[in-house]
């Protein structure tokens, strides 16, 4: 665990595949045709909550326990698109045994269009 610092930014990038979307559809039951039937370019729309796993990956890297996560889905994501997410700690309060924080995440496609924003409140336990 790395001590979180206000203003610190972390990034993660991922390109979802048709197989990713199919597996998520099987797991969640979100199997609408838009997620299962490819368009004329062979793409399917990625489920919103699958896209929302990008901010959770950033949190996992720093052993975050989120208490609140708010998502704003701005535009659809399709398989084959590379999505880049940037998470910034806005506020960090140190306690005896943990850090409490808020962070904002912005995810963009390769054209620089915002596809998802997220705000997280949570904590990170200090190493013992």
Mean pLDDT, the chain, rounded, equals 94
The number of C-alpha atoms within 13 Å of 42 and in the hemisphere containing its C-beta is 6
Percent of the chain residues topping a pLDDT of 90:
88
Q: Which domains does the chain have, with CATH numbers?
A: 9-15+45-125 (3.10.129.10)
Dihedral over Cα of 76, 79, 80, 86: its sign:
positive
Q: pLDDT at residue 1 above 90?
A: no
Q: State if pTM tops 0.85.
A: yes
Nearest to 122 by CA among 66, 69, 71, 70: 66
pLDDT of residue 128: 65
pLDDT of residue 51: 97
């Amino acid at each position: 665990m790395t001590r979180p610092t206000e203003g610190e930014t972390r990034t993660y990038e991922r390109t979802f595949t048709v197989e990713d979307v199919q597996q998520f559809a099987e797991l969640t039951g979100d199997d609408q045709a838009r997620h299962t039937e490819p368009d004329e370019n062979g793409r399917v729309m990625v489920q919103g909550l699958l896209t929302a796993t990008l901010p959770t990956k950033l949190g996992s890297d720093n052993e975050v326990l989120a208490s609140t996560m708010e998502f704003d889905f701005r535009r659809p994501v399709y398989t084959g698109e590379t999505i880049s997410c940037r998470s910034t700690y806005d506020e960090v309060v140190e306690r005896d045994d943990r850090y409490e924080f808020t962070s904002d995440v912005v995810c963009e496609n390769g054209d620089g269009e915002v596809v998802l924003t997220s705000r997280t409140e949570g904590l990170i336990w200090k190493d013992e």
